[in-house]
């Protein structure tokens, strides 16, 4: 049975994950099995979630689902950043949350609540499982202050005018700064700009652990140093330690967080505890849209809601959450991934084909013996997921398996009852449980029909007009208008739109 066999397979073909810090695929050996501690950097909640958020969430959802499948007891912590994330990585600029709250005329926590809720809704749509704990940075101020104290006590931080900075140079003398990113301190000197206010720091590459709040800064707490707020990097060191311990298994996040965020986390934890806290660092790669980096200034920062509704000018049609998920899983998480309408449409078709194939397995009638090799299919699936979560290869094996199943449907070959059950289980386990794909909440039959029915009516109207049967053509226009469907005659045809939502609301 597959449910037992995975132990066998993982012993035979163990899980390897690529560790960013060693730059190698390493055998995954938890510190304290069967427990696994997993920390992933969550969103800074000051705007709608976009593809970047989705990719990180889906990557580590795949990992979480697979570790759970392997029957590890996973504590998965994914934080919410609601304070301290300044516009510039150099500890300057406005707090991202505060700036947005000011623009939207909201209390910062109102904004945090709003965008946290909308992020959670998107994650549910993408079938991303809830983490075990989702701590807020603003909810762990005392713990962060205690962490600053530890770093101060170990001598790797200094206080200036009520702010506390991490002393990168001093740290680098004892430990090595840059172990994750490979950046060396000499390069940092030349690359960090001198910014206003940075003269407080001993060196431009030092970073804030605690910042004294300016008078207009709303989110602030008392401390022994000043009324202020924690530096952005601090929350992750603090909350991962609180909920997963001083050493834990896996820390994940997007590649964009590798430097300076994760590098600073390592420095903080090492300075405080004398050792680095993370055994495996994992980073998902970035997303491009039509070959370009995503960015608000480029006008291509399409939100997830816009993908789902098709309402962004760059998006030709709505793409369902499962299409987005499937598309992402068709690439390996460490590859960059380019979004285009064409690629998404082909993912949409691929996903349909996958589920159609799975449905057709039900049509197979078992025989006494098998001519097909289910062991091999199962081994291939485990082998690919165990190879640093190679979901594209896994998916191609699943499609190969459907070829076998299709020939069985066509009466070519034979499968035993036992093998048929295993075949069904392979698809249930890998597609639903591990890849986290599901049939979309089927649009009702009726819903899919509207467009076509309207088009039929418009064709009849067009014909009636040509035949000067204005009674019919006017009747059609009027009845559609009554339903809230607006018809616009254009030179090259007829456009229509459902406009009167109000009218329809009472029917909903």
Residues of this chain that bind a copy of itself (CB under 8 A): 75, 107, 109-110, 112-114, 117, 130-136, 138-142, 146, 221-222, 243, 352, 358-359, 361-362, 424, 427-428, 432, 438-440, 442-454, 456-457, 460, 463, 472, 475-476, 479-480, 483-485, 498, 501-502, 504-508
| Nearest distance from C-beta of residue 159 to a copy of itself, angstroms | 19
Helix axes 470-482, 445-466, angle to 10 degrees: 150
What are the structure tokens assigned to 106, written together?
A: 């909201």
| Nearest distance from C-beta of residue 287 to a copy of itself, angstroms | 26
Q: Give the sign of the dihedral formed by CA 314, CA 317, CA 321, CA 325.
A: negative
| Nearest distance from C-beta of residue 50 to a copy of itself, angstroms | 21
| Nearest distance from C-beta of residue 334 to a copy of itself, angstroms | 29
**Count of H-run helices and E-run strands, the chain:** 18, 15
Residue whose CB is less far from a copy of itself, 180 or 485: 485
| Nearest distance from C-beta of residue 504 to a copy of itself, angstroms | 5
CA dist 274 → 165, 208, 355, 508 (Å):
18, 20, 51, 61
Residue whose CB is less far from a copy of itself, 34 or 299: 34
Question: Is residue 178 within 8 Å of residue 185, measured between CB atoms?
Answer: yes
Residue whose CB is less far from a copy of itself, 286 or 460: 460
Residue whose CB is less far from a copy of itself, 256 or 469: 469
Bridge partners (DSSP) of residue 38 are 76, 250
| Nearest distance from C-beta of residue 320 to a copy of itself, angstroms | 9
Buried b (16+ CB within 10 A) or exposed e, 224-244: ebbebbbbbbbbbbbbbbbbb
Question: Is residue 268 within 8 Å of residue 252, measured between CB atoms?
Answer: no
* CA–CA distance, 217 with 228 (Å, rounded to integer): 8
Residue whose CB is less far from a copy of itself, 88 or 418: 418
Residue whose CB is less far from a copy of itself, 135 or 252: 135
Alpha helices, DSSP H, located in 387-469: 391-409, 417-427, 445-466
| Nearest distance from C-beta of residue 449 to a copy of itself, angstroms | 5
Residue of 336, 171, 352 lying closest to 254 (CA atoms): 336
> What is the enclosing helix (H) or strand (E) of 292?
strand 292-293
Helix axes 417-427, 374-386, angle to 10 degrees: 20
| Nearest distance from C-beta of residue 212 to a copy of itself, angstroms | 16
Residue whose CB is less far from a copy of itself, 13 or 429: 429
CA dist 256 → 93, 378, 499, 506 (Å):
19, 35, 42, 47
| Nearest distance from C-beta of residue 223 to a copy of itself, angstroms | 9
**389: Cα separation from own chain's centroid:** 15
* CA–CA distance, 64 with 129 (Å, rounded to integer): 8
| Nearest distance from C-beta of residue 372 to a copy of itself, angstroms | 18
| Nearest distance from C-beta of residue 417 to a copy of itself, angstroms | 12
| Nearest distance from C-beta of residue 508 to a copy of itself, angstroms | 5
Residue whose CB is less far from a copy of itself, 173 or 495: 495
* CA–CA distance, 284 with 388 (Å, rounded to integer): 12
Residue whose CB is less far from a copy of itself, 22 or 451: 451
CA dist 168 → 181, 190, 204, 211, 351 (Å):
15, 15, 10, 17, 49
> What is the enclosing helix (H) or strand (E) of 207?
strand 207-212
Question: Is residue 364 within 8 Å of residue 371, measured between CB atoms?
Answer: no
Question: Is residue 219 within 8 Å of residue 8, measured between CB atoms?
Answer: no
| Nearest distance from C-beta of residue 37 to a copy of itself, angstroms | 11
Residue whose CB is less far from a copy of itself, 492 or 508: 508
* CA–CA distance, 233 with 144 (Å, rounded to integer): 10
Residue whose CB is less far from a copy of itself, 86 or 437: 437
Residue whose CB is less far from a copy of itself, 148 or 264: 148
Residue whose CB is less far from a copy of itself, 216 or 452: 452
């Amino acid at each position: 049975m597959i449910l037992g066999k995975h132990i066998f397979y993982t012993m035979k073909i163990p899980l390897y994950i690529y560790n960013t810090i060693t730059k190698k695929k390493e055998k995954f050996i938890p510190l304290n099995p069967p427990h696994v501690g997993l920390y992933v950097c969550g969103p800074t909640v000051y705007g709608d979630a976009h593809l970047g958020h989705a990719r990180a969430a889906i990557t580590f959802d795949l990992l979480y689902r697979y570790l759970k499948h392997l029957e590890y007891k996973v504590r998965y912590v994914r934080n919410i950043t609601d304070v301290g994330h300044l516009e510039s990585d150099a500890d300057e600029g406005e707090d991202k949350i505060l700036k947005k709250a000011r623009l939207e005329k909201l209390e910062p926590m109102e904004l945090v609540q709003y965008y946290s809720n909308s992020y959670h809704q998107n994650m549910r749509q993408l079938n991303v499982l809830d983490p075990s704990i989702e701590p807020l940075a603003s909810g762990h101020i005392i713990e962060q202050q205690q962490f600053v104290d530890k770093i101060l006590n170990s001598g790797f931080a200094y206080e200036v005018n009520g702010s506390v900075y991490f002393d990168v140079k001093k740290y680098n003398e004892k430990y090595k700064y840059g172990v994750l990113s490979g950046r060396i301190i000499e390069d940092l000197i030349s690359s960090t700009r001198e910014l206003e206010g940075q003269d407080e720091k001993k060196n431009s590459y030092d970073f804030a652990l605690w910042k004294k709040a300016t008078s207009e800064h709303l989110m602030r707490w008392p401390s022994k140093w000043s009324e202020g707020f924690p530096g952005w990097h601090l929350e992750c060191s603090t909350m991962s330690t609180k909920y997963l311990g001083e050493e834990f298994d896996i820390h994940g996040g997007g590649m964009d967080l590798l430097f300076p965020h994760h590098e600073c986390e390592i420095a903080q934890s090492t300075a405080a505890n004398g050792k680095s806290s993370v055994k495996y660092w994992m980073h998902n790669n970035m997303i491009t849209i039509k070959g370009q980096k995503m960015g608000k200034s480029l006008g291509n920062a399409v939100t997830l809601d816009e993908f789902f509704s098709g309402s962004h000018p760059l998006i030709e049609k709505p793409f369902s959450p499962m299409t987005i998920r499937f598309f992402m899983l068709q690439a390996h998480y460490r590859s960059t991934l380019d979004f285009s309408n064409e690629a998404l449409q082909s993912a949409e078709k691929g996903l349909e084909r996958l589920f159609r194939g799975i449905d057709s397995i039900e049509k197979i009638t078992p025989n006494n013996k098998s001519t097909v090799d289910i062991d091999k299919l199962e081994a291939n699936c485990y082998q690919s997921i165990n190879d640093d979560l190679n979901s594209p290869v896994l998916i191609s094996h699943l499609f190969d398996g459907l070829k076998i199943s299709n020939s069985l449907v066509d009466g070519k070959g034979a499968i035993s009852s036992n093998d048929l059950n295993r075949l069904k289980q392979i698809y249930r386990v890998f597609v639903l449980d591990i890849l986290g794909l599901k049939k979309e909440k089927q649009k009702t039959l009726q819903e899919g029909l509207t467009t076509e029915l309207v088009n039929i009516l418009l064709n009849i109207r067009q014909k009636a007009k040509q035949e000067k049967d204005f009674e019919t053509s006017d009747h059609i226009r009027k009845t559609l208008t009554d339903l809230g469907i607006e018809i616009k005659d254009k030179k090259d045809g007829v456009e229509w739109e459902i406009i009167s939502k109000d009218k329809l609301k009472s029917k909903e």
